[in-house]
Structure 1
Amino acid sequence: MALQSQYVFTLYVDLAPALDFGKTTSSGNRRFIPITGGRLEGPNLKGEILPGGGDWNAVRADGVVHVLAKYAIRLEDGTMVNVHNEGYGRASQTVMEGVFSGQPGGAVPEGSEWYTKTWPRFEVADNTKHAWMCRTCFVGNLLKPEGPGHVQIEVFELL
């Protein structure tokens, strides 16, 4: 039996320019990308992404990008959601530098490889109607960025 999924929402994440730590022995080329805000929109959920989080990502020697983002969302009804979104991507170092530089023209060039999938986990207080998010498996599809300073992640519930 094949896995099935259902679309839940899209995360529209606003980013500041990346802080580049350079090449590290243990992780590869490490950078921190501050999350400055954004929104969550879906058929049954809406909210805002709060500033202050970020993505601690690293480009490994084999070119794979390890994404590790932590941030907070406030849903329309005031419920706070702690987000831990981790995954892997494939894109050249040049493409990644352009996307996360914050500079105009930072879109992924036409014909460039782009693959980034994540497994977001959500932590929500038990006494809310959104506690189901803590008991559900999700997958994310980080779409090819169209410009600098912004990414979109489609989130699907595994059924």
Structure 2
Amino acid sequence: MRLTGEHVLTVDALLGDVVDVGETPTGHRRVIPVVGGTVSGTVTGEVLPGGADWNLERRDGSTELWARYELRLSDGAVVSVVNTAVHEPSPRLPILTTPRFDLADGGPVELRTGVHVGLLVPRTDEHGRLRSVRVEVLRVGVAQA
């Protein structure tokens, strides 16, 4: 047996200006607002404004991503997403993440069950400011060898 991956969706999230919270007992905290975007793939829709990544640069130099945001699918279903990752001080891009989806009964079974892996690619503007991220989401499966 071996692991396989099936593309489920791509999230193109637009980001607002970074809010620098500063040094906290656990490290340097930044909040990166999610202000909109699109969803494509086996499901389509939009990224709703109001989410954020509560980003933490830990004392050992690694960075912890903890993003929570909502998607509205084309059929009207709302999906809550929590996407997490921890990467080394100088990450090799893209960054592997672990998205989890919470949605009402009747929503896409491929989101409500199973294990998902995301491939996050940050995008900056001409001044080097983070302005969007693309997250390619795969559903992990098992195939016969």
Instruction: Report the TM range for the smaller structure's normalisation.
Output: 0.7 to 0.9
Shift of 1:5: 0.9
> Structure 1: which 5+ residue stretches go unaligned?
93-111
User: What's the CA shift string for 1:21-69, capped at 9, x where partnerless?
Assistant: 112222x110111100001111x21010000011101011222111101
Query: Which residue of the partner structure matches residue 120 of structure 1?
Result: 99
Q: Whole-Å Cα distance in 1 between the matches of residues 107 and 24 of structure 2?
A: 43
Shift of 1:90: 3.5
RMSD: 1.7
Query: Which residue of the partner structure matches residue 12 of structure 1?
Result: 12
Query: Which residue of the partner structure matches residue 32 of structure 1?
Result: 31
* Higher share of residues assigned helix: 1
Matched-pair contact (CA < 8 Å) for 1:124–1:131: no
For the residue of structure 2 that corresponds to 1:143, the secondary structure is strand
Query: Which residue of the partner structure matches residue 149 of structure 1?
Result: 131
Matched-pair contact (CA < 8 Å) for 1:91–1:113: no
Shift of 1:114: 3.0
Q: Whole-Å Cα distance in 2 between the matches of residues 54 and 73 of structure 1?
A: 13
TM-score (norm 1): 0.79
Amino acid at match of 1:84: V
Following TM superposition, the consecutive aligned residue runs of length 4 or more in structure 1 with deviations greater than 4 angstroms are none
Q: Whole-Å Cα distance in 1 between the matches of residues 92 and 119 of structure 2?
A: 15
The verdict on how the C-alpha distance between 1:20 and 1:66 changes in structure 2, with shifts beyond 3 A counting, is same
Q: Whole-Å Cα distance in 2 between the matches of residues 16 and 129 of structure 1?
A: 29
Shift of 1:129: 4.1
User: What's the CA shift string for 1:117-144, capped at 9, x where partnerless?
Assistant: 1110001111x24144121210001014
The verdict on how the C-alpha distance between 1:125 and 1:83 changes in structure 2, with shifts beyond 3 A counting, is same
For the residue of structure 1 that corresponds to 2:2, the secondary structure is coil
Matched-pair contact (CA < 8 Å) for 1:15–1:36: yes
Shift of 1:154: 0.7
Is 1:158 aligned to residue 137 of structure 2?
no
Q: Whole-Å Cα distance in 1 between the matches of residues 62 and 93 of structure 2?
A: 11
For the residue of structure 2 that corresponds to 1:63, the secondary structure is coil
Q: Whole-Å Cα distance in 2 between the matches of residues 41 and 115 of structure 1?
A: 19
For the residue of structure 1 that corresponds to 2:50, the secondary structure is coil
TM-score (norm 2): 0.86
